[in-house]
Amino acid sequence: MNCDDFTLTIDDYVDGTADAADATALEHHLSGCPSCRSMVADFRAIRMAARTLPPLEPPARVWHAVAARIEAPGARQATAPWLAPSNWGWQPLAAAAMLAVVVSGLTWVGGRLGTRPAPATASVARAAAETGTDAVDDFQTAEALYADAIASLEAETAAAGPAALDVVTAAALQGGLEAIDEVIGDTRQALAREPDDELSQESLLDALGSKVALLQDTVALIHDRNGLDEGFNQ
């Protein structure tokens, strides 16, 4: 018998499913055939490596897309699986790190603001921020205050309309808000599992504070641009 006669027997042998007679015949052939021995060794290595391939994790955007398609309420609070608290203990740190990246990436927006009178809603937001971080121990109260401030600021930016800012600035702000929202979603999920985790609570308040600050900047830029437009018209 030659090598071709053992083609499929080699696979059964590697899989451990070859019957005794076939296995004996193949082993006899292998003793004098380095080429088939090499094939058996390689197939075994491939099979072993294939069996132990690590699982692949889908990006978070897949769940967002699924949730949007099935219109699942609350879907926006989804987390990437590799950030799920059941898998990792450092999610709040990851959230904080991500926030740091977002905030540093938006410094150029801040540079465009200069000093200007704060819009009316900004004072509400600032009060919430100060109350939430310094004066109130009650985490839920602080969170509620931030939520009110965010709602007010979002109403103000929505009222200004999509053309209130130039495209580049609006895109940068929007990107920042989306990144912060993702961090907020992640930390909320962590808190859903461990409501008393102080690190997660702090991360959430930090993220909400960042969102308030960014919305304040957005409102200020809108006011700034309106002022420029009025001056130009005059």
**231 near another protein, judged by CB under 8 A:** no
Residue with tokens 């609350």: 74
Angle at 149 between CA 151 and CA 226, to 5 degrees: 80
- Number of neighbours of residue 210 by Cβ within 10 angstroms: 22
Task: Write out the two tokens for 107.
Answer: 């410094």
**154 near another protein, judged by CB under 8 A:** no
**3 near another protein, judged by CB under 8 A:** no
**62 near another protein, judged by CB under 8 A:** yes
Select from 21-29, 38-46, 91-99, 140-148 the region that touches another protein (CB under 8 A).
38-46
- Cβ(206)–Cβ(97) below 8 Å: no
Number of residues forming the site for another protein (CB under 8 A): 41
**32 near another protein, judged by CB under 8 A:** no
**194 near another protein, judged by CB under 8 A:** no
State which H helix or E strand residue 162 sits in: none
Q: How far is the CB of 13 from another protein (least distance, A)?
A: 12
**55 near another protein, judged by CB under 8 A:** yes
**88 near another protein, judged by CB under 8 A:** no
By CB under 8 A, name the one of 1, 5, 24, 58 that touches another protein.
58
Residue of 107, 72, 81, 103 whose CA lies nearest to 177 = 103
Burial class (CB in 10 A: 0-12, 13-18, 19+), 64: middle
Q: Which is nearer to another protein, 40 or 94 (CB)?
A: 40
92 to 131: interface string for another protein, x by CB under 8 A: ----------------------------------------
- Number of neighbours of residue 151 by Cβ within 10 angstroms: 13
Please tell me the distance from the alpha carbon of residue 150 to that of residue 154, in angstroms, as a whole number: 6
Q: How far is the CB of 15 from another protein (least distance, A)?
A: 8
Backbone angles phi, psi at 76, to 5 degrees: -70, -10
**65 near another protein, judged by CB under 8 A:** yes
**225 near another protein, judged by CB under 8 A:** no
Largest Cα–Cα distance in the chain? 99
**51 near another protein, judged by CB under 8 A:** yes
CA atoms within 13 A on the CB side of 186: 32
Residue ranges binding another protein (CB under 8 A): 7-8, 10-12, 35, 38-39, 41-43, 45-59, 61-63, 65-67, 69-70, 72-75, 78, 81, 84
